[in-house]
Structure 1
Amino acid sequence: MGSGAYYVQTCPFGEGSSVRMIWLATPPANLGPSPAALARRALARIRLEGARIGIAPDPNGAGLIGLPVWLWTAVTANTWGPTTASASDGGLTVTITGRATQIVWNMGDGSSVTCANPGTPYQASYGAARSPNCGYPAAGDNGPGYHLPSRTQPDGRYHITATTSWRVEWVGGGQHGVINTTRTSQTAIRIDELQVAVS
C-alpha cells in the first residue's frame, strides 16, 4: 500500500455512531493531538516545585560536627502532591496526577541522602536525636555526618541541593502513561567544630 496508515473513522448519526477502519496515504486534516501530547499540555498547567526546604541546624545559625542534620520539605500539593490537571482537545480529555516519589539531598561534602518521604520537621524537644526518616547521617549510618567544619569550604558554608523526583501519571483516550521529571531547591548551612577550653 505504500506509505500511509490506518485511521479510525467515527461517523455520528442520531443517537449512535458508525465506526470503521480506513486507510489514508496522508494524515487527515485537523487531526487533533495525541493523548501523550495532551498530557504534556496538562503538565504545563500545573506547578511542580522542588522542596520547600526545612533543615536543622537553621541556616541562620550553625551546627556542630558530630551532630545530626534534619532534612524535610513543607508538604503541599505543589511540593509533594498529589496534584491534578486536565487538558482537552477535539473531544479528547487527558487527566494527569503528579506525586513526588523521593528527594535526593546532596549535602555539599560529596555525600548524598535519598528520602522516599518528605521528612520530619525538627523540634527543639528532639535535642541531639537523629531524624527518624530523613537526615544526615542517614538511618543505619553510624558515621558522624559532616566530619569537617564548613570553614573548609570556599565561602564557609556547605551548599545543599535537594532534587525532588516527580512521577506524573496520565490517562485518556483509552491510553495511559507516565512522565518523570525533577525539580531542584538549594540552601546552605554552617558547621562548626566544638571548641574545648582548657584551663
Structure 2
Amino acid sequence: MAQEAVDKMKLTGPDIGIVPKPGGKGLVGLPVWMWTDKTAEAYGPNKASATAGAVTVTATAKVSQIVWDMGDGHKVTCTTAGTPYKSSYGKKSSPDCGYRYSHSSKDQEGQKYPVTATSTWTIDWNGGGQTGQLTETRQSQTQVSIGQLKVLN
C-alpha cells in the first residue's frame, strides 16, 4: 500500500534550471549554476495516502540529493535544490550547487555536453501500526554548450 500511495504522488525528475541556459553558451572556467524548482512533484515534500479496508497508509516524499552528471566524466552531488541564478550574481559561483567545465564541448555530439540530473527521493510511510522508508530515483536531462575564449596577443 505504501507503493500505491507513492504512485499517486506523480514524482518526477528535477525541473532543471541551469546557467548557461540550453541554447546559450558558457565558457570554460566560468561557473555553471544548477537548480530545480521546489514543486511537490520535482522536489517535495509530497504527501499521499492509500486505503485498503480499515487500513490507511500515508507516505511523505522529499528529495534527499540530486546527482548531476555533467557529461564530461564528472558528477556533482547537491543536497539542496540549488540556488536559481540571477544576472546580478555575475560571475560568482553558486553557493550550493555549481560546477566549472575545464574543456569546451566542441568535440561532443552536437557540440554540447549532455547533463543528467538524478533525484533520490526518500519516502517515509506509516499506517496499520507499521512504519518504513522507501527510496526511488527519477531523472531529467538537458544539454549545455561550453566554448573556450582564446586571447590573442
- What's the TM-score once normalised by structure 2's chain length? 0.97
Partner of 2:67: 104
Partner of 1:62: 25
Partner of 1:114: 77
60-69 or 146-155, larger mean C-alpha shift:
146-155
Aligned counterparts of 1:170 and 1:182: Cα–Cα separation in 2:
17
3-state SS of 1:105 partner: strand
Aligned counterparts of 1:41 and 1:70: Cα–Cα separation in 2:
35
Q: If you compute each CA radius of gyration, which structure gives the higher value, 1 or 2?
A: 1
- Aligned partner (choices 78, 82, 88) of residue 51 of structure 2: 88
2:116 paired with 1:161: yes
In structure 1, what residue type is equivalent to 2:49?
S
Counting only pairs closer than 5 Å after superposition, residues 1-199 of structure 1 correspond to structure 2 as 38-136=1-99, 145-198=100-153
Gaps of 5+ in 1: 1-37, 137-144
Q: Which runs of 4+ in 1 moved over 2 A?
A: 195-198
Give the drift of 1:195: 2.6
Q: Write the deviation string for residues 3-47 of structure 1: whole angstroms up to 9, x where unpaired.
A: xxxxxxxxxxxxxxxxxxxxxxxxxxxxxxxxxxx1111111111
Aligned counterparts of 1:47 and 1:118: Cα–Cα separation in 2:
18
Aligned counterparts of 1:66 and 1:82: Cα–Cα separation in 2:
35
In structure 2, what residue type is equivalent to 1:160?
V
Partner of 1:142: none
Q: Write the deviation string for residues 45-94 of structure 1: whole angstroms up to 9, x where unpaired.
A: 11111111000111111000110100000111111111111111111111
Aligned counterparts of 1:89 and 1:146: Cα–Cα separation in 2:
51
Give the drift of 1:197: 3.8
Aligned counterparts of 2:38 and 2:6: Cα–Cα separation in 1:
20
